[in-house]
């Protein structure tokens, strides 16, 4: 994400009907810019401007696809799960929740599992260390 989640910025992005249509359409399945332009009945440059704005706030992901003829093209899918605006203490605030795909969830799970295993291992090795403290009788007697 390259821009801050300031309410005014998000209002500006989501204030565009085309941006909202893109998010809604791409929530069902990833779509190319051409398909999005057709569904929204606007030009591809207009779609790309909205795509760029949505990507700046991580609301839209892009996937590179290769067709049967070997041509590369991008498809876009919605990454925004929820946007909640509130008024607190006389000011707007925003809570954004982004979707995580299963690979991200698995990576997070695996990292947590590894961290837990390291913590257990460190605790176990600390308990099994021999007592290296020594006491000396310096009284000479």
Q: What are the domain boundaries of the chain?
A: 7-99
E strand map for 2-129: 31-32, 60-66, 72-78, 80-88, 91-98
Instruction: Return the higher-pLDDT residue of 100 and 57.
Output: 57
pLDDT of residue 125: 59
CATH T-level assignment (fold) for domain 7-99:
Arc Repressor Mutant, subunit A (1.10.10)
* pLDDT, the chain, mean: 79
7: helix, coil or strand?
helix
pLDDT surpassing 80 at residue 134? no
* DSSP character at residue 27: H
Report the percent of the chain where pLDDT is more than 90: 37
Give me the residue label for tokens 């509130």: 86
pLDDT of residue 85: 82
Measure the CA angle with vertex 63, ends 61 and 64; round to 5°: 150
**Residue 9 contacts by C-beta under 8 Å, 6 or more apart in sequence?**
3, 57
pLDDT of residue 138: 45
Greatest mean pLDDT among 59-73, 86-100, 103-117: 59-73
Report the percent of the chain where pLDDT is more than 70: 69
pTM to 2 decimal places: 0.63
């Amino acid at each position: 994400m390259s821009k801050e989640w300031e309410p005014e910025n998000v209002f500006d992005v989501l204030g565009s009907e085309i941006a909202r249509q893109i998010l809604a359409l791409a929530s069902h399945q990833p779509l190319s810019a051409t398909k999005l332009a057709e569904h929204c009945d606007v030009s591809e440059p207009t779609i790309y401007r909205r795509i760029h704005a949505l990507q700046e706030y991580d609301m839209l992901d892009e996937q590179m696809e290769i067709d049967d003829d070997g041509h590369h093209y991008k498809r876009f899918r919605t990454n925004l799960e929820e946007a909640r605006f509130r008024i607190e203490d006389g000011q707007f605030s925003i809570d954004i929740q982004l979707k995580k795909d299963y690979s991200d969830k698995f990576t997070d799970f695996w990292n947590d599992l590894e961290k837990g295993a390291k913590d257990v291992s460190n605790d176990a090795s600390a308990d099994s260390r021999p007592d290296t403290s020594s006491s000396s009788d310096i009284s000479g007697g």
